[in-house]
Structure 1
Amino acid sequence: FVGRVIPLGSPHPAQFTSLEAMVAGSHMDAVVIATPHTQHAPQIEIALNAGLHVLCEKPLATTAADARRVMELAEKNSRTLAIGYQRHGQSQFRLARHLVHSGTLGDLRLITVLIAQDCLENFRPGASWRADPALSGGGHFIDTGSHIVDMMLWVSGLEPERVYAEIDQFGTDVDVITAASIKFTNGARATFAATSLSAEPWREELTFYGTEGVMRLGRADGLSYQVKGGDLVFPRGAGARDVRPLEDFIAAIRGEVAGPQAPAVCGLRVAQVTEAAYRSAVSGRPEPVG
């Protein structure tokens, strides 16, 4: 793909003073939006109303209302709206989702989630747009946490009902530590911890406890699962070919696949959980999701 696209590039690309001018003055099929978070929804709307397909970096939007609006606009305009949640195309996460949805683990009862990074400096005042709530919409939880909330929801297939969360800012203007408890409509629970103050560069762990088995999924240790009375299994196939977001996006536009692997509804679900968590951190009580 890259080999086909690079020769089409120009050493003197066209320049525009606004997104509106760009979509009006160019013959394009699609755009990739990778701007500060609070700009995503309005820019998606401009692109969709110009008849363009959109691949947006996470999060899809900083509010559930905005996420729903752009999702419905894409459906109305018959345009592809995808999110750059790359884990949807990674083999170990696809296999993890299959193990859950095939019933291998039985009924899920508890999920534990951890995302820990050494990235506090990104959120210190003046460090970058990520440190400014007007541009970022929040801190670590809406940023890297967006990926992991998405995986919790996508792999499990569960519907969140309410969220209780506490956050700490540690001298910044945004959240840099989040501890949350989530209840799902089937009665299952999840604990979610996110920190940007880790001594480790990155640790990502999700554990799914079902009535018949347990599954662990991590950045460092890969995928493993164990059913009652069975041995610990490191399944083959977890290293199969990955499908990158841009590759999948183009295939969806061409009609080569039924739809993008990370559709807009995933962004809506993440926005609903994120918004409920932020409301809970302010109110001090569990907040409904939706």
Structure 2
Amino acid sequence: MIRAAIVGLGWWGKTLVESLEAGSSEMRFVAGATRTVTQDVQDFARAHGFALRASYEELLADPSVDAVVLATPHSTHAGQILAAAKAVKHVFCEKPLALSRADAEAAVTAAQRAGVTLALGYNRRLHPAMTDLRDRIESGSLGTIMHLEGTMCFPNALALKATQWRAHRNETPCGGLTPMGVHTIDALIDLFGEVDEVYCMSFRRAVQIDADDTTSILFRMKAGMSAYLGTMTATAGNYRIQVYGSQGWIRINGMTHIAGASSEERRSRLFGECTFQPIKGPAQTWQAEAYDVSRAVLEAFARAAQGGPPFVIPPGQMIHGAAVTEAIVRSAASGKAEKVL
């Protein structure tokens, strides 16, 4: 049993805690810390049976804490991971791991040298619908893969205040890239390997804060296929991933994390109708199962931390994902296609 501390008790940190509230044989939350301690935060901690500590440093010094779960601003991740590794604590980090390859490499290296598990919160990778898609691609049933297309949208940026960290360009460059789009980038890396080159256009159309809300990205994979990702942060929620092969296409529809949605919906209702259309014959359509991906990814982390199977995302893929994010931001600034370094 991994005794974990939650770091950051905004709406997503609370969602992670709630994913284990029914009880888990792998992990439980025993402590927490957050920048702003409100009455609501105090009530939440009390209801979920863990103690609030005054600082992250206090959590790291606590021998009763085996691991930290980071639900904190992106720019703080690398430094927090380095500190946890120094304290010999396992780390589950919400995505993205870092905003640069250098920071991601430093975090991964620190964890490896300390002998602790580092896990990353790309929870959609664990959903059975993604396992089915991966199996179809690997079996060759889709034929030669030509292209992947993804769209992720939510209206959340319409309600953001300029004082919130997610409203700052240095934390959320290219609009929906870091809150949503990196999930599709992780799927690209998982399904097809490394990204060679990216081209990004990103701008603001509707939101009142100084942030982009409309972002389009083209990818060329080293394996030869192409991909497209679109994110919008000021429209109705939507998730779609579609893979095109020479024997047909498969599409998975679903939902993103909408502000105000229930915790159960945010965790278990991310995938919906799935369709396979072969080049000949009728389409096959089915409904993805309700599956708590937040619980699944935390328990996968806990098993790895206890000496079980390695975490599902290899360290090299964590670093490459950060390098792709960095190249996308660079392309949006340069207006040119950029190699992933």
TM-score bracket for the superposition, by shorter chain length? 0.7 to 0.9
- Map 1:65-104; keep pairs closer than 5 Å: 65-104=102-141
In the superposition, the TM-score normalised over structure 1's length comes to 0.86
- Select between 268-277 and 34-43 the one with higher mean Cα deviation: 268-277
Alignment counterpart, residue 147 of structure 1, candidates 165, 183, 194:
183
Letter in 2 for 1:22: L
Distance between the aligned counterparts of 1:185 and 1:230, measured in 2? Answer: 32
Letter in 1 for 2:82: E
Structure 1 residues 76, 211: closer, same or farther in 2, change over 3 A? farther
Q: What corresponds to 1:27 in structure 2?
A: 64
- Select between 159-168 and 68-77 the one with higher mean Cα deviation: 68-77
Please tell me whether residue 216 in structure 1 is matched to residue 268 in structure 2. no
Alignment counterpart, residue 250 of structure 1, candidates 287, 293, 302:
302
**2:61 aligns to what SS in structure 1?**
helix
- TM-aligned CA deviation for residue 265 of structure 1: 3.7
Unpaired stretches in structure 1, ≥5 consecutive residues = none
Q: What corresponds to 1:204 in structure 2?
A: 239
Please tell me whether residue 164 in structure 1 is matched to residue 199 in structure 2. yes
Q: What corresponds to 2:328 in structure 1?
A: 277
Alignment counterpart, residue 147 of structure 2, candidates 96, 99, 110:
110
Q: What corresponds to 2:53 in structure 1?
A: 15
Q: Is the 8 A contact 2:144 2:245 kept in 1?
A: yes
Please tell me whether residue 44 in structure 1 is matched to residue 81 in structure 2. yes
Structure 1 residues 280, 136: closer, same or farther in 2, change over 3 A? closer
- TM-aligned CA deviation for residue 194 of structure 1: 0.7
Q: Is the 8 A contact 2:93 2:121 kept in 1?
A: yes
Letter in 2 for 1:167: S
- TM-aligned CA deviation for residue 123 of structure 1: 4.6
- TM-aligned CA deviation for residue 203 of structure 1: 0.7
Q: What corresponds to 2:259 in structure 1?
A: none
Distance between the aligned counterparts of 1:150 and 1:287, measured in 2? Answer: 18
- TM-aligned CA deviation for residue 279 of structure 1: 0.7
- TM-aligned CA deviation for residue 106 of structure 1: 1.8
In the superposition, the TM-score normalised over structure 2's length comes to 0.74
Letter in 2 for 1:133: R
- Select between 172-181 and 278-287 the one with higher mean Cα deviation: 172-181
Q: What corresponds to 1:286 in structure 2?
A: 337
Residues 103-137 of structure 1: CA deviation (Å, up to 9, x unaligned): 211221111111121122255523x1101234445
Distance between the aligned counterparts of 2:290 and 2:159, measured in 1? Answer: 34
Q: Is the 8 A contact 1:91 1:242 kept in 2?
A: no
Letter in 1 for 2:289: G
Distance between the aligned counterparts of 2:121 and 2:325, measured in 1? Answer: 17
Structure 1 residues 270, 76: closer, same or farther in 2, change over 3 A? same
Distance between the aligned counterparts of 1:90 and 1:233, measured in 2? Answer: 19
Residues 34-79 of structure 1: CA deviation (Å, up to 9, x unaligned): 1111111110111112111111111111112111221222222222
Structure 1 residues 55, 12: closer, same or farther in 2, change over 3 A? closer
Structure 1 residues 57, 263: closer, same or farther in 2, change over 3 A? farther
**2:183 aligns to what SS in structure 1?**
helix
Letter in 2 for 1:273: V
Residue correspondences, number: 283
Structure 1 residues 177, 104: closer, same or farther in 2, change over 3 A? same
- TM-aligned CA deviation for residue 241 of structure 1: 5.8
- Select between 207-216 and 117-126 the one with higher mean Cα deviation: 117-126
Alignment counterpart, residue 64 of structure 1, candidates 101, 105, 111:
101
Q: Is the 8 A contact 1:38 1:136 kept in 2?
A: no
Distance between the aligned counterparts of 2:314 and 2:89, measured in 1? Answer: 16
Q: What corresponds to 2:289 in structure 1?
A: 239
Unpaired stretches in structure 2, ≥5 consecutive residues = 1-19, 32-45, 255-270
Q: Is the 8 A contact 1:108 1:188 kept in 2?
A: yes
Counting aligned pairs with the same residue, the percent is 29
Q: Is the 8 A contact 1:37 1:137 kept in 2?
A: no
Cα RMSD (Å):
2.6
Letter in 1 for 2:307: G
Structure 1 residues 162, 253: closer, same or farther in 2, change over 3 A? same
